[in-house]
Amino acid sequence: MAEPEWAALLRELAAIAQTGLAYARDPFDLERYARLGELAAALIAVPTETEPAVIAALLQDEPGYATPKIDVRAGLFRNGQVLLVREVNDGLWSLPGGFADVNLSPAEAIEAEIEQETGFTARATKLVSLLDRRRHHAAHPRLRYCYRAFFLAEITGGAARPSLETTAVDFFPEDALPPLSTGRVTAPLIARLYAHWRAPELPTEFD
């Protein structure tokens, strides 16, 4: 199911309020932007059946100019099979990765995520794609707008080990993937990684 149109409209409304509060100086404008933020939270709360205070808290986690979050994911292959992790919070499988940490380059961020979630050390070898999450996933519970960077990476050491965020680590063939955590990854996205792994000369893709 695609993201409903209201989600994009209300996300933009909330972003305008957040940015206005960051840059406005006139006290009356600040009051108006604060009220706009309250209205955005109240409107988002209705279709999501969530308390407005909860939505408001989520929207206030990063004050300042509203910009996209960046999520990094990696395709690692062994004997033609892709490395996946089983997520703690939904029990479904995903590519290793997550939101990039501050002070890490994109390559460093995905390498750190791989080691944290799988136990393997790895080296990022190619940026496969930089995508708008909305265009490649079903409706997602997160309010923040997000770009997703998919990498190819090579395992350099370590051994499979679950983590605080993952309950299992395993390799799967392309035609026998386990139930996927589709808010994080989909079969078509894994297929793209396979295509780039088989043909490294393919150009980086982007939305």
Going from the first residue of the chain to its last (207 residues), give the mean pLDDT of each consecutive group of 10, the final group possibly shorter. Answer: 77 90 92 92 88 82 81 97 96 96 93 97 98 77 79 98 95 97 93 97 96
Provide the pLDDT for residue 142: 57
Cα atoms in the 13 Å half-sphere on the side-chain side of 138: 8
28 domain residue, yes or no: yes
Provide the pLDDT for residue 155: 98
Provide the pLDDT for residue 69: 87
Provide the pLDDT for residue 143: 63
64 domain residue, yes or no: no
Same domain, yes or no: 99 and 52 = no
Range of the domain at 103: 69-206
Residues 63-98 as b/e (b if ≥16 CB within 10 A, e otherwise) read eeebeeeebbbbbbbeeeebbbbbbeeeebbbbbbb
CB-based contact 152:75 (threshold 8 Å): yes
Among the three residues 59, 81, 98, which one is the final residue of a domain in this structure? 59
Provide the pLDDT for residue 140: 53
Let me know if 138 is exposed, middle or buried by CB neighbors in 10 A (0-12, 13-18, 19+): exposed
Provide the pLDDT for residue 16: 92
Same domain, yes or no: 116 and 188 = yes
CB-based contact 109:196 (threshold 8 Å): no
Same domain, yes or no: 31 and 106 = no
